[in-house]
Structure 1
Amino acid sequence: MQKSFFVLCLLSASFTPIYVGVVFLGFTPEHRCLSPGVAELSSRCGWSLEEELNYTVPEQGRHGESFSSQCRRYDVDWNTTGLSCTNPLENFTGYGNRSSIPLTPCQDGWVYDSSASSIVTEFNLVCEDSWKLDLFQSCVNVGFFIGSISIGYIADRFGRKLCLLITILVNSISGVLMAFAPSYTWMLIYRFIQGLVSKGGWLTGYILITEFVGLSYRRTVGIVYQVAFTVGLLVLSAIAYMIPHWRWLQLTVTLPNFFFLLYYWCLPESPRWLIAQQKNDKAMKIINRIAKGNGKKVPPSLQSLNPEEEDGEKLSPSFLDLVRTPQIRKHTLILMYTW
């Protein structure tokens, strides 16, 4: 029992890269427009970074106009010969002063003030395309919503263990594919698939861990299961600090998930689900094994289960079960509101 509890807590901790991974995968460093010729001029003049920014990057506002200096650059040709190193903008004739020089969007890309890489720096998800970073996380959340409903039904219909193994496999494969995604679109697709199975898998683990214990212990194991998620946040932060490149980070936090496929051999099916499915023989074998591992006897209420009596009506899960009785309706509405 302790072994099952521990391995399921590992599953909870491994969920954090998907839930909050955008903080590290989508890190947005300071940036400015790439202006062709500025690097060569800066090298020739021996400017420091502060001097280069002062001479070549527009100020934050002019004539009451609000714009971002990260998304606009001077519409001038920095490859022009004879530019002054003390005030190169004075060499461009036709403009009365610096504030009258026209601006243009970042047509040639951006320069990022960070050696680390993220999906933002690789796919230039800034300025007009900054909404794509929000879309990246929204795809995960849509996957969470769909997966939490559909995978919960699958776990009730086909069993917790089978559902857990399938979600682990799909999550691991899609996570690796995301690390090698050739484009932003493919990255979105793989991230959506991860969201589709990961939240449902996490909930399945939560169900398993609470169904392994008696009613008096459910609250405790449920809290510890979520504490493991918090520990995963701390571990993820440390890993992200040591691996500042998003593709390697994605691989590092995904590959260990394949080890969770060993649950096939070390994790039993939920005895409560087996009993609900009238599979008393299999349920009694697991209950006896758990009792033996805990050094305790099987309670009389469970000993009365007859392994041969499996002809009763199996429980068929339905979404109507969420509102079938007044008490369940109340709990369903409360949980929907809090989420």
Structure 2
Amino acid sequence: MTCSEWDYDEDVFKETFTTTHNLVCGEGFKISHAQMIFYFGVVVGDILFGQISDFIGRKKTLVLTMFILLVSGLSGSFSPEYYSFVVIHFVVGAACKGCLVLAFVMGFEFVGPDMRVWLGQAINIVFALALCLLCGLGILIKDWQYIQITASMPAILLIPTWFIIDESPRWLISKNRMEEAKTVLQKIARTNQVTPPDNLLEHLELEKCTYTEEIWSLFKNRTLAVRTLVVFFNWFGLGMTYYGVFLHAENLGGNFYLAIFLLSVIEIPILLVNLYLLNKFGRRKVHCVTMMTGGLACICTIFPVIYGGEELQPLILALAVIGKMGASGAFGSIYVISGEVFPTVVRNGGVGASSSFARIGSMVAPYIAKLGAHSVHSYGKAIPLIVFGTCSITAGLCALLLPETKGCRLPDTIEEAIDFKLLREDDDIVIQPMETREINTNQTSQNGN
């Protein structure tokens, strides 16, 4: 007989969107559909707001995404039924990702080479702190509508950043707005208590990139195509594993809030360790080790899930935390790798496309995690862990095909991105202007031919 009424356990949450609309039994997969559509919104936000920022500027687009995030987040808490909720959360996903990527890109374009590793880890650390805070909100509130409202309100504090931050000088240079770029750089110089050169405008003209390439240029060369596909696959595996472990937490048993908190807080120490490891041992090796650590932890979790009972619950949670730790560390390194492997002429497009593959992995993760939730046998509960672990290990091994970018200057052209040996330099070598490097690279290519 088909059920028509349900009684829900209110120990973890007093009310969720699932219990409000009885999305259980035959309606259970609607939750996975909603999560998939949310991550599809993230993919759209990756592409859409990146294009908008290239057209109207980083600063305007960043504030726009903050405003959209505030309005859509508050609107979602008052969704009267399933379909309006899904549509609104599609917008939330797009605005959320647009805001995050723009914050990273602006920071990346404002800092020098020595600070890029720090920036990549710092953004992920703040992300982990926000997850811990969200876990605390869940413990205190336990009602999905009020959690949604409380989590959306901080966006109000971000909108006034319009009056605090400046436009990216790199974007201004790319749009030939040299006087505005000069003003921003002079402000930075005053803040850093350094004296800019008198001929700053001439230097800006020299550094201006006067040539462009399409992202398809990454596939014109076999070596570069393989590297691009490896980066894409690593982003896909990371997106699926990172969010999949979170979504699978409800199937791990034990205290739900403790599991979520541990899966969140563990990111902070591993990202801090990443600051040392990436500069000491290189990007490629560290990324491979973190990916394989996360994957092996997921695989090892299979045995206590299948053969153990309640007494092994702490071990299951510990292995899940190690898996999440590996995924978090790999996220901290893949950002840096992507920014350094792709050449300047297609770097924005390359990083954006890579990030989109992570969102595709995130869209798949809810369905894989749901396989364990619907299984009545312990063997079925291990299926998500097998998928997440195998994908993470495979991607980590493939990362060894990438070049080591530690100690190399950023490639500017397609030709430079193919041979990283030409980009390795000592600390005492002065970096040449972009145009001079391009001429030297072309001459080297001609001599090689």
Following superposition, the deviation at residue 322 of structure 1 comes to: 5.5
Alignment of 1:1-339 (within 5 A): 104-107=1-4, 109-114=5-10, 116-298=14-196, 302=200, 304-305=202-203, 319-320=215-216, 329=225, 332-339=228-235
CA 1:314 to 1:198, structure 2 compared with 1: closer, same or farther past 3 Å?
farther
**Does the 8 Å CA contact 1:161/1:270 hold for their aligned counterparts?**
yes
How many Å separate the matches in 1 of 2:209 and 2:52? 19
CA 1:138 to 1:329, structure 2 compared with 1: closer, same or farther past 3 Å?
same
Following superposition, the deviation at residue 294 of structure 1 comes to: 1.8
**Does the 8 Å CA contact 1:178/1:187 hold for their aligned counterparts?**
yes
**Does the 8 Å CA contact 1:171/1:197 hold for their aligned counterparts?**
yes
The structure with more helix, counted as a fraction of residues:
2
Secondary structure of the residue aligned to 1:110 is: coil
Q: With the length of structure 1 as denominator, give the TM-score of the two structures.
A: 0.62
User: Aligned pairs, how many?
Assistant: 232
CA 1:331 to 1:313, structure 2 compared with 1: closer, same or farther past 3 Å?
same
**Does the 8 Å CA contact 1:156/1:317 hold for their aligned counterparts?**
no
Two-structure CA RMSD over aligned residues (Å): 2.6
Following superposition, the deviation at residue 212 of structure 1 comes to: 0.7
How many Å separate the matches in 1 of 2:65 and 2:122? 22
Structure 2 unpaired stretches of 5+ = 236-449
How many Å separate the matches in 2 of 1:331 and 1:261? 38
Q: Deviations over 1:46-77 (max 9, x none)?
A: xxxxxxxxxxxxxxxxxxxxxxxxxxxxxxxx
CA 1:286 to 1:184, structure 2 compared with 1: closer, same or farther past 3 Å?
same
Following superposition, the deviation at residue 296 of structure 1 comes to: 2.2
Structure 1 unpaired stretches of 5+ = 1-103
The amino acid across from 1:162 in the alignment is K
Following superposition, the deviation at residue 334 of structure 1 comes to: 3.2
CA 1:300 to 1:228, structure 2 compared with 1: closer, same or farther past 3 Å?
farther
Identify the residue that residue 292 of structure 2 maps to in structure 1: none
Q: Deviations over 1:198-217 (max 9, x none)?
A: 11221111100111111221
Q: Deviations over 1:132-167 (max 9, x none)?
A: 111111111111112212221222222111111111
**Does the 8 Å CA contact 2:179/2:201 hold for their aligned counterparts?**
no
Identify which range, 234-243 or 147-156, moves more after superposition.
Answer: 147-156
How many Å separate the matches in 2 of 1:161 and 1:315? 24
The structure with more strand, counted as a fraction of residues:
1
How many Å separate the matches in 1 of 2:220 and 2:108? 23
Following superposition, the deviation at residue 304 of structure 1 comes to: 3.3
Secondary structure of the residue aligned to 2:7 is: strand
**Does the 8 Å CA contact 2:137/2:147 hold for their aligned counterparts?**
yes
CA 1:140 to 1:322, structure 2 compared with 1: closer, same or farther past 3 Å?
farther
Following superposition, the deviation at residue 320 of structure 1 comes to: 4.2
**Does the 8 Å CA contact 2:42/2:94 hold for their aligned counterparts?**
yes
Q: Deviations over 1:309-338 (max 9, x none)?
A: 79x997778544665777865654333111
The amino acid across from 1:178 in the alignment is G
CA 1:248 to 1:259, structure 2 compared with 1: closer, same or farther past 3 Å?
same
Percent sequence identity over matched residues?
27
Q: Deviations over 1:251-293 (max 9, x none)?
A: 0000111221111111111111111111111111111111211
Identify the residue that residue 67 of structure 1 maps to in structure 2: none
Q: Deviations over 1:8-38 (max 9, x none)?
A: xxxxxxxxxxxxxxxxxxxxxxxxxxxxxxx
Q: Deviations over 1:86-143 (max 9, x none)?
A: xxxxxxxxxxxxxxxxxx2212x21112161101110111111110111111111111
The list of structure 1 runs, each at least 4 consecutive aligned residues, that deviate by more than 3 angstroms after superposition, is 299-306, 312-332
How many Å separate the matches in 2 of 1:157 and 1:318? 16
